[in-house]
């Protein structure tokens, strides 16, 4: 699995996951419980991460860059 993007909140990360799943890419949201446990804001550099299988990383990045979410996350 590769981390392909960081989000400030789990809501946007899960929307991005949905976009990828609709395109047939397995995706996982990581760190959403940790961020909620310290607060809703991006506290201390914590972020919610979006991960996909290694072989799907390039396609997933392409989809995110060409979506409305591109400005709401840090694509790696």
Q: What percent of the chain has pLDDT over 70?
A: 83
Pull the structure tokens for residue 24.
């047939």
Q: Which pLDDT belongs to residue 9?
A: 85
Name every residue whose Cβ is closer than 8 Å to that of residue 73 and which is 6 or more positions away in sequence: 5, 6, 7, 12, 13, 16, 50, 64
Using 50, 70 and 90 to split pLDDT, how confident is the model at 40?
low
DSSP 9-23: SHHHHHHHHHHHHHT
Q: Which pLDDT belongs to residue 18?
A: 97
Q: What percent of the chain has pLDDT over 90?
A: 71
* Cross-strand bridge partners of residue 29: 50
Averaged pLDDT, 1-25: 95
Averaged pLDDT, 20-37: 86
The separation between CA 42 and the C-alpha centre of its own chain, rounded to angstroms, equals 14
């Amino acid at each position: 699995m590769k981390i392909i993007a960081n989000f400030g909140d789990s809501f946007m990360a899960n929307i991005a996951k949905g976009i990828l799943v609709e395109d047939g890419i397995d995706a996982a949201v990581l760190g959403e419980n940790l961020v909620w446990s310290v607060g809703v804001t991006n506290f201390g550099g914590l972020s919610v991460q979006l991960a996909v299988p290694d072989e799907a990383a390039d396609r997933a990045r392409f989809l995110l860059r060409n979506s409305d979410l591109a400005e709401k996350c840090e694509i790696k």
